[in-house]
Amino acid sequence: MLPSLRRYHPHVSLITISIQVNDPAEVASAIEQARAAASEGAQLVEWRVDELAVEAAGHKACHALVRDTPMPCILTCRMVEEGGHFGGDESDRVGLVDSLVKAGIAPKYIDVESVAWRRDRDLRMGVGKLLAESECGLVLSTHDFEGRPDDLARQLDVMWAEDDAAVVKVAWMARSIRDSLEGMELLAEAAGPMIVVCMGRFGVMSRVLAGKFGGLLTFASLGEAQTTAPGQLTVDQLRNQYRFDSVSPSTSVFGIMGDPVEHSMSPLLHNTGFDLANFDGVMVPMPVIEGWESFKASLACLLDQPALNFSGLAVTSPHKENLSRFVEEVGGTLTPMVRRCGSANTLVVLPDGSLVADNTDTEGVVGPLRQVMTLKGSKVAMLGAGGAARAAAIGLLLEGAEVVVFNRSEERALALVDDVKARMESPVSIEYQSGGPQSSDGFKAVINMTTLGMDGGPDPSASPLEALGGSAEVLTEQMIVFDAVYSPLETPFVRQASRSGATVITGDAMFLAQAARQFKTWTGATAPMDTWMALLGS
């Protein structure tokens, strides 16, 4: 007997694996794949039979897929103009449906594109017969692989008005996280069972949060190589990295906001921590492109959705300064460290809706350094002048270190030096030097606060020393070398430092220290450092 749908809780949407079968010879292995997905936690399978629908052998293969399916299934045959691969005409598609009726075989659902449904009377008749003679339900769908359809509201009205539709599905390529938020709003207001898929990197949150808003299902793949749509997660990622089974209407939503955020370890760490602390929360990626306007619009939209239970953000490049500006402009609270740094990496949304911005980066840099050196009176070469560098400089100066700033953009470095000086109550030692460091020059530590060496950053294969015009020769055995980049841990800069014999602090130390403070602020619980270190491979 097939497993019953919604077997956990009514709010849990079904993890649905989409498997494309191109040839009758692939049926057995496709069924095996579905079995493997079921054992990982998938509850529904979509058989994509675009290539099978034409001839009798193909029809037979479709029958076998539906008959032997290890989970309830959706049968989908999408034409080329609908974003699929089916090259036949509508009569071929009707032929497939007729053959199912004749064989007395019916899937749980059959997916038909809304435009085709309205256009073709024979298709409506054929599918209508299948619906009448079995328990099959019609998923009426619309897809846009370019962006949000301009006439989305009209398309939805048409689909909801269709009596035969058991489920309404809408999928589009999200252009920002605001599209995902709109998708979730559509689910929350749905007149019946609904599927919303926002594709692409801006749509990942809509996939994770489908259950929170009552979406019937979310699509996933068995492995990263088998994804059938951009932004699709694997079953394993959904369940183990994003707590999919635990997400419910009451779940508090946190985001990691920046660009890029696809490689961030924050969701894995915080979601694992939420699990261990029995905290009803989930962190999802929220990529937001550079610029104040896009940041402001995205955050305003998040705050404007009461059903989201939006509770906080970890903010990364390039939006840390935007976060402190936003919170100040709306009359929220900036912690003293944010006032000092002029940037924030943590947002807390209090139960009454008021906002607090904090900066935990300072402690992330100073904490690990303090453990291996005396900062007071030590001269530190700092590579970079962005948001993290500013926090690092302030932390170091507050500890009594002397800071020399090296950065690609002289203007930005000089602005950082002036700004930091202006923010400190007493005189401090910070200066800018052009180019990169040429000699050890009394430096006790060299710290990288640029994005160089970072996966998904401007140049993962570059060391900031050479990129700024300096030399690896400056690194010595006596030095402490600190890299803020944590993905990967072994950056070109870290490799240079290891070769020089210096004491190396990799980006995980900073990441763990700042994340632990965020976790405490959001949950009140202590972060599970041992588990986190194991997850980061520290």
CB of 467 to ligand NAP, least distance (A): 4
Closest to ligand NAP by CB, 170 or 389: 389
CB of 457 to ligand NAP, least distance (A): 6
The label of the residue with tokens 């291996």 reads: 372
Closest to ligand NAP by CB, 236 or 410: 410
CB of 448 to ligand NAP, least distance (A): 8
Report d(CA 95, CA 87) in Å as an integer.
14
Report d(CA 357, CA 169) in Å as an integer.
38
Closest to ligand NAP by CB, 59 or 340: 340
What is the number of helices (H) and of strands (E) in the chain?
Answer: 20, 21
Q: In this chain, which residue has its C-beta nearest to ligand NAP?
A: 386
Site for ligand NAP, rule CB under 6 A:
316-318, 320, 361, 364, 384-389, 407-409, 412, 449-452, 454, 457-459, 467, 484-486, 507, 510-511, 514
Report d(CA 461, CA 470) in Å as an integer.
16
CB of 302 to ligand NAP, least distance (A): 20
Report d(CA 405, CA 449) in Å as an integer.
10
CB of 247 to ligand NAP, least distance (A): 26
Q: Which two tokens stand for residue 57?
A: 């052998």
Strand order across the beta sheet in which 310-315 lies: 281-287, 252-258, 310-315, 346-349, 355-358, 333-334
DSSP string, 154-221: HHHHHHHT-TTEEEEEEEEE-SSHHHHHHHHHHHHT-SS-EEEEEESGGGHHHHHTTGGGT-SEEEEE
Closest to ligand NAP by CB, 63 or 408: 408
Closest to ligand NAP by CB, 313 or 385: 385
Determine how many CB atoms are found less than 10 A away from the CB of residue 299.
26
CA dist 283 → 9, 147, 184 (Å) = 21, 25, 16
The helix-helix angle for 27-40 and 56-67 (nearest 10°) equals: 20
Closest to ligand NAP by CB, 169 or 270: 270
CA 228 to chain centre: 17
CB of 347 to ligand NAP, least distance (A): 15
Residues with catalytic function: 320
